[in-house]
Structure 1
Amino acid sequence: MRFDIITIFPRIFDSYFSESILARAQAKNLIDINVHDLRDYAEGAHRQVDDRPFGGGPGMVLKIEPIFKAVTALKKPKTKNQKPKLRTKNRKIRVILLSAKGKTFTQNDAKRLSKYKQIVFICGRYEGVDERVAKYIADEEISIGDYVLTGGELPAMIVIDS
């Protein structure tokens, strides 16, 4: 099973995934965990990934453009004749937006997700992500509880650990 995590803080994951049973699972090639810096998919000299909300409102949200590029790159087909699709009924790949607004994660969700070959996690930050990400890119939104965290990195670790 392959996990891809899109975040603006990639180093947060280093120690957690290099210890314990997750490290052993990776060493045995049972799982593959890849962390991707969202800034690598941003444009401009400053590689800016945040902006004011598209429809207005307070704070800053992660922009859709770099998220779109990251997910497209991670879902790139193996053959040249196929085109990548963002939202598909593909049973092998699942794109999950980690968000306080999402459905609360349960053990049943862990079992269901374990059947996928690849899961792409989008870790929110700031006031969240551009609403179009949930509407057009993510297959589902998941929350780990009835509280707000500073980002989606801890929820990604929890879902992968389960």
Structure 2
Amino acid sequence: MRVDVLTLFPEMFDGVFHSSILGKAQEKGIVSLKAINFRDYAGNKHGTVDDTPYGGGGGMVLKPEPIFRAVEDLLGDDEASSSVPGGHKPRIILMCPQGETFTQHKAEELAREEHLIFICGHYEGYDERIREHLVTDELSIGDYVLTGGEIPAMVVIDSITRLLPGVLGNEMSAVTDSFSTGLLEYPHYTRPVEFRGWKVPDILLSGHHANVATWRRKEAFRRTLLRRPDLLDVVELSPRDLKLLHEVKAELVD
């Protein structure tokens, strides 16, 4: 996968892109991550990328020209290849508070792409023509406002990259993560068996894989019911799941 980020602060991505899982994914050649300063596409000696809004009001608005030029420069061969059978146009993603709320399902969808371009804004907002005529997706990581789109882009890129085959040491890790199954993840334990009087549940020491799997599923329901009951409204439940959920509810009442 190729990921390009258009930003006014490319240095913000240095540590993130070259550390931990993202750094290892690049070393393995699984993903290419690059931050580009779209001020380089301003087209004047002052590097102007923003201006006052028409109609008045506070703040500055990002101009369309630099961002369009930067995206068009990045498209390069991708734009040509998209016109032939099997060609793929990149997804162009605008990070903004008005966008679709980012979810694990969206991460899984984007992880199937070959090329992603992220646009990170600052100031008051974007010229609306960027939304209407350039981007394919608008994403938000939550109902709050940050100083720019850089940190949200890092969150989304990390979430997507870890889903790519070969990135994680254990391929099952991403499959069983919270939200991947529609539920919050079950509790985890490791050595020692007892710590300050708190013991690991006996069933996890039993070696009975079917019983362990049932316990984990049941505890995932318990955690979801207590912390994010809204998730249960949309997850598909089998008859066995419904039985486990009923058991959990009965235990919580008791």
The verdict on a shared fold, with TM-score over 0.5 as the criterion, is: yes
Kept in 2: contact 1:76–1:84 (CA 8 A): no
Counterpart residue number, 1:62: 62
Report Cα offsets for 1:56-87 as digits up to 9, x if no partner. Answer: 432101110000000101111269xx4999xx
Q: Secondary structure at the match of 1:125?
A: coil
Within the alignment, does 1:75 sit opposite 2:72 as a pair? no
Q: Equivalences for 1:6-155 in 2 at 5 Å?
A: 6-54=6-54, 56-77=56-77, 82=80, 91-155=88-152
For structure 2, the residue ranges without an aligned partner over 5 or more in a row are 160-254
Report Cα offsets for 1:114-140 as digits up to 9, x if no partner. Answer: 111000000010111111111110101
User: Which structure: greater strand fraction?
Assistant: 1
Q: Secondary structure at the match of 2:39?
A: helix
Match of 1:156 among 153, 156, 166: 153
- Check 1:84–1:8 CA distance in 2 against 1; reply closer, same or farther (3 A cut): farther
Q: Secondary structure at the match of 2:71?
A: helix
Among all aligned residue pairs of Structure 1 and Structure 2, give the percentage whose two residues are the same amino acid: 51
Within the alignment, does 1:2 sit opposite 2:2 as a pair? yes
For structure 1, the residue ranges without an aligned partner over 5 or more in a row are none
- Check 1:78–1:140 CA distance in 2 against 1; reply closer, same or farther (3 A cut): closer
Deviation at 1:91, TM superposition (A): 4.6
Kept in 1: contact 2:82–2:89 (CA 8 A): no
Deviation at 1:30, TM superposition (A): 0.4
37-46 vs 51-60, which moves further: 51-60
Kept in 1: contact 2:50–2:62 (CA 8 A): yes
Q: Secondary structure at the match of 2:76?
A: coil
Kept in 2: contact 1:75–1:84 (CA 8 A): no
User: Which structure: greater helix fraction?
Assistant: 2
Kept in 1: contact 2:6–2:117 (CA 8 A): yes
Report Cα offsets for 1:22-75 as digits up to 9, x if no partner. Answer: 100000010000110011111111111111124543210111000000010111
Kept in 2: contact 1:122–1:152 (CA 8 A): yes
Structure 2: distance between partners of 1:113 and 1:78: 17
Structure 1: distance between partners of 2:44 and 2:74: 21
Compute the TM-score of the two structures, normalised by the length of structure 1.
0.90
- Pairs aligned (count): 156
Higher normalized contact order (CA 8 Å, seq sep 6+, divided by chain length): 1
Give the RMSD, CA atoms, in angstroms.
2.0
Q: Secondary structure at the match of 1:25?
A: helix
Q: Secondary structure at the match of 1:35?
A: strand
Structure 2: distance between partners of 1:101 and 1:35: 23
